[in-house]
Structure 1
Amino acid sequence: MTTPLLDVGDLRVSYPGRGFRARPHEVLHGVSLSVREGETLGLVGESGSGKTTIGRAVLGLVKADGGRIHFHGQDITHAPARVRRILARDIQVVFQDPYTSLNPSLTIGDILSEPLVVQGASPADARARVRELLDQVGLPADASERLPREFSGGQRQRVAIARALAPRPRLIVCDEPVSALDLSTQARVLDLFVDIQRRTGVAYLFVSHDLTVIRHVSHRVTVLYRGDIVETGPADRVTSTPEHPYTQRLLLAAPVADPLRQRQRREERRRLAATPTAGPRG
Structure 2
Amino acid sequence: MTAPLLEVSGLRVTYPGRVFRARPREVLHGVSLSVGRGEAVGLVGESGSGKTTIGRAVLGLVKPSGGSIVFDGRDVTHVSAKERRALARDIQVVFQDPYSSLNPSLTIGDILSEPLVVQGATTSGARARVRALLDQVGLPEDASERLPREFSGGQRQRVAIARALAPEPRLIVCDEPVSALDLSTQARVLDLFVDIQRRTGVAYLFISHDLTVIRHVSHRVTVLHQGEVVEAGPCGPVTSAPEHPYTRSLVLAAPVADPHRQRQRREERHRLAATESTGTAPRSQGTRR
3-state DSSP class of the match of 2:231? Answer: strand
Q: For residue 129 of structure 2, what is the aligned residue in structure 1?
A: 129
Q: How many Å separate the matches in 2 of 1:191 and 1:17?
A: 41
Say whether 1:180 aligns with 2:180: yes
1:4-15 matches, cutoff 5 A = 4-15=4-15
Say whether 1:79 aligns with 2:83: no
Q: For residue 39 of structure 1, what is the aligned residue in structure 2?
A: 39
Say whether 1:118 aligns with 2:118: yes
Q: Percent identity?
A: 82
- Output the aligned Cα RMSD: 0.6
Q: How many Å separate the matches in 1 of 2:162 and 2:152?
A: 15
Q: Deviations over 1:35-67 (max 9, x none)?
A: 000000100000110100000000000000010
Q: For residue 55 of structure 1, what is the aligned residue in structure 2?
A: 55
Q: How many Å separate the matches in 1 of 2:274 and 2:222?
A: 23
The Cα shift of 1:279 comes to 1.2
Structure 1: which 5+ runs fail to align?
A: none
Q: For residue 281 of structure 1, what is the aligned residue in structure 2?
A: 285
**Higher alpha-carbon deviation: 254-263 or 35-44:** 254-263
Q: Deviations over 1:245-274 (max 9, x none)?
A: 000000000001111111111111111111
1:81-230 matches, cutoff 5 A = 81-230=81-230
3-state DSSP class of the match of 2:275? Answer: coil
Q: How many Å separate the matches in 2 of 1:121 and 1:280?
A: 48
3-state DSSP class of the match of 2:67? Answer: strand
Specify the code of the residue in structure 2 equivalent to 1:218. Answer: S
3-state DSSP class of the match of 1:273? Answer: helix
Q: How many Å separate the matches in 1 of 2:110 and 2:121?
A: 13
Q: How many Å separate the matches in 1 of 2:111 and 2:18?
A: 37
Q: For residue 255 of structure 1, what is the aligned residue in structure 2?
A: 255
TM-score (norm 1): 0.99
The Cα shift of 1:278 comes to 2.7
TM-score (norm 2): 0.97
Specify the code of the residue in structure 1 equivalent to 2:257. Answer: A
3-state DSSP class of the match of 1:239? Answer: helix
**Number of residues of Structure 1 aligned to a counterpart in Structure 2:** 282
The Cα shift of 1:139 comes to 0.2
Q: Deviations over 1:97-129 (max 9, x none)?
A: 000000000000000000000000000000000
Specify the code of the residue in structure 1 equivalent to 2:65. Answer: D
